[in-house]
Amino acid sequence: MRPRNQPRRWVRWAVSREDFVGAVALLLREPTGNPVPALRHARSVGKHVVQILSAKSKLAPDSKGKRFKDSA
């Protein structure tokens, strides 16, 4: 137990180590069991990356977003 005048330290992990390792194991195991959905997703992501890098992507941030307001 910590003394009253000592500040509370932040918890390094919000989830237990066992839960984290289990989630990583699931992410690694799932594509090997049925690789078709993972390959489709990888192909789609690759297609979007190529479009973005070649400046042909239709994806764009909202122009009314607060990041684009002129503060000057």
pTM reported for the whole predicted model:
0.46
3-state secondary structure of 26: helix
Please state whether 55 falls in left (phi above 0), alpha (psi between -120 and 50) or beta. left
Segment-wise mean pLDDT, segments of 10 residues, the chain, 72 residues: 58 73 86 86 92 87 74 66
Tell me the C-alpha distance between 47 and 33, whole Å: 24
CB-CB contact of 48 with 59 (8 Å): yes
Looking at residue 19, its pLDDT comes to 86
Q: Is the dihedral of CA 13, 18, 24, 27 positive or negative?
A: negative
